Structure 1
């Protein structure tokens, strides 16, 4: 099938190259600013966790690296949106769009360039969201869990006692490995008002259930003493491996684990929560194209309004769009919305917002005609 050169030109014209260059330069600038803000915020959060002993200081920069790369799929949609709006807004305030229109270049040409640019960014964002970011989140999650395990034993000094944070048990270890992941010659006393409970083990280490977030202390080759010494019901049990639940995983940890799963794994599992996560990843790419089109309507500032007149409405539209996607994701996970319908209604709604903004002049004329006919 032959495609008309008016739709897909073989060579980009000077105006097309100029617009794409403006889009790209603004995209780099906006992404850099947003990325630096995100990195600074994350760095402050990790420093706060390290200050209270919940996170070893040596893993801060590794976590910062993986989290900053994983944030690109979130930052690029709004960066593309703002880049298109700022580029066209500057061209409008400098009367460049007026000159372009006077040269016979229609608004459809501008819309086509914006669609091509946003579509290219959507492909990149889809690749990041579906394949790269889950792996980054998985690596970050693994480092965080190892760091939390190390934090549990970070205060353990060979030959000294340590009380748990909630005060329910006393811990003693004769030695701790260099990576702070395992211990030797362990003694644990569980504080109970009746029938004291004591554990002794040759080795031990902490483990975290990747699915539930529950934290366990796994003891190897030891004995379990229950009751008072000398009582008739005093119990001594020998074990090769014994797991003790130290901390129950929170719901946020379960959702965090879901973000680390690959897209293929989510599709194969087929649970409604997995499908909600999968649709969330697809939505970031669809969102990029729709926001790029909406940026066209916000960039055409009126007289004496300036190039940044549409900045506040743009941020407001993005917040509403992203929050509606979050609500749709929660509804799918809760079973309120069918996965087949999913987040489609949000994208259709925002396409309606684009159509209303793009044809707002015609809608005003039509509304005035209706009022005149009514009177």
Structure 2
């Protein structure tokens, strides 16, 4: 059984991993095509993203591997022969728990320690890549407009490492007074905590107003920062995902506690899904080995969505942190108990109906 589960796990992880990598690769190519990402960092980001996705792909892969393994054995009547030989169902349940328990420990190690470090490296690489992309798209001696069309950039030249601009001219169209900046040097910078992107100008002048107006203002500055793009909630969430578990636990705010619970839930989810797979794998006559695949996918979607809803409630303060996502796991354990005892419950209800009819 363990060999059957392991072979199915390798096959399912391979398929899911290839789908994930292909999707991410297409997205990075689109970003590189419009100049938002340097082409040379695509494969590094792809590798870090695929490693970070293992904690998300493994729970459903373990679930499907147990389901497919036991489904094949049920369709080939191997489980029937095992029961006829006097081997109790607890032996099968023990093997499933051993397999899912080992994988749960692996997923816990990934979610709590390894994946945050990988995502931290990816986050830093993405921020550097975005800054590099802004200056890489600049051609010395030519103008470049922002995507919204309200900013116009001009740089006479770039530094040797192509990270700093020299002799910068910037025009910002706004009402009621347009802005013009001149600077000897300029570079892009990203605030690590918020993800906000700034254009930092050094040793220049700031002109505000329209030419010929009486309220025309000229100011000299040593350093001037312009907000180019706000990081937003998505950048903040990515930063939290890349933070070490010990740091999140020490800070202890609602968003950090919700993230810690989410990481722990991945391991618990793996074991509970393995138990549910046992009840769905026993196919009836003429049903085939894939009969339980559709309800299994439906259960996984409901399970993962409930965990996501519980996480959002904890972040917003609508749910007390100590309850967190425990109630979702208890509901799924209750569903497993109902599926295991469904025949006894059906027999009990039929007896009760007969007693009421008499």
Task: Tell me the TM-score normalized by structure 2.
Answer: 0.95
Match of 1:353 in 2: 335
- Classify the secondary structure of the residue corresponding to 2:204: strand
Give the Cα–Cα distance (whole angstroms) in 2 for the partners of residues 56 and 179 of structure 1.
14
Match of 1:177 in 2: 159
Structure 1 residue 284: deviation in Å? 0.4
Give the Cα–Cα distance (whole angstroms) in 2 for the partners of residues 208 and 118 of structure 1.
42
- Classify the secondary structure of the residue corresponding to 1:135: helix
Match of 2:249 in 1: 267
Moved more, 319-328 or 199-208: 199-208
- Classify the secondary structure of the residue corresponding to 1:89: helix
Q: Does 1:307 align with 2:307?
A: no
- Classify the secondary structure of the residue corresponding to 1:351: helix
Structure 1 residue 290: deviation in Å? 0.1
Match of 2:305 in 1: 323
The 3 A distance-change label for structure 1 pair 116 and 178 is farther
Q: How does 1:132-211 map to 2 (within 5 A)?
A: 132-177=114-159, 179-211=161-193
Q: Does 1:57 align with 2:44?
A: no
Task: Tell me the TM-score normalized by structure 1.
Answer: 0.91
Give the Cα–Cα distance (whole angstroms) in 2 for the partners of residues 312 and 326 of structure 1.
21
Match of 1:242 in 2: 224
Give the Cα–Cα distance (whole angstroms) in 1 for the partners of residues 264 and 276 of structure 2.
19
Deviations along 1:12-35, one digit per CA (max 9) or x if unpaired, are: xxxxxxx11111111111111111
Structure 1 vs Structure 2 CA RMSD: 1.7
- Classify the secondary structure of the residue corresponding to 2:225: strand
Aligned mate of 2:109, from 107, 127, 131: 127
Structure 1 residue 193: deviation in Å? 4.7
Structure 1 residue 233: deviation in Å? 5.0
Give the Cα–Cα distance (whole angstroms) in 1 for the partners of residues 174 and 312 of structure 2.
41
Aligned mate of 1:105, from 87, 90, 108: 87
Structure 1 residue 299: deviation in Å? 0.8
Match of 1:15 in 2: none
- Classify the secondary structure of the residue corresponding to 1:115: helix
Q: Does 1:30 align with 2:30?
A: no
Structure 1 residue 213: deviation in Å? 2.2
- Classify the secondary structure of the residue corresponding to 2:200: strand
Deviations along 1:295-329, one digit per CA (max 9) or x if unpaired, are: 11011111111111111111111011000000101
Flag structure 1 segments of 5+ consecutive residues without an equivalent.
1-18
Structure 1 residue 93: deviation in Å? 1.2
Give the Cα–Cα distance (whole angstroms) in 1 for the partners of residues 191 and 131 of structure 2.
12
Give the Cα–Cα distance (whole angstroms) in 1 for the partners of residues 154 and 34 of structure 2.
22
Q: Does 1:371 align with 2:348?
A: no
The 3 A distance-change label for structure 1 pair 286 and 193 is closer
Q: How does 1:326-341 map to 2 (within 5 A)?
A: 326-341=308-323
Give the Cα–Cα distance (whole angstroms) in 1 for the partners of residues 51 and 76 of structure 2.
36
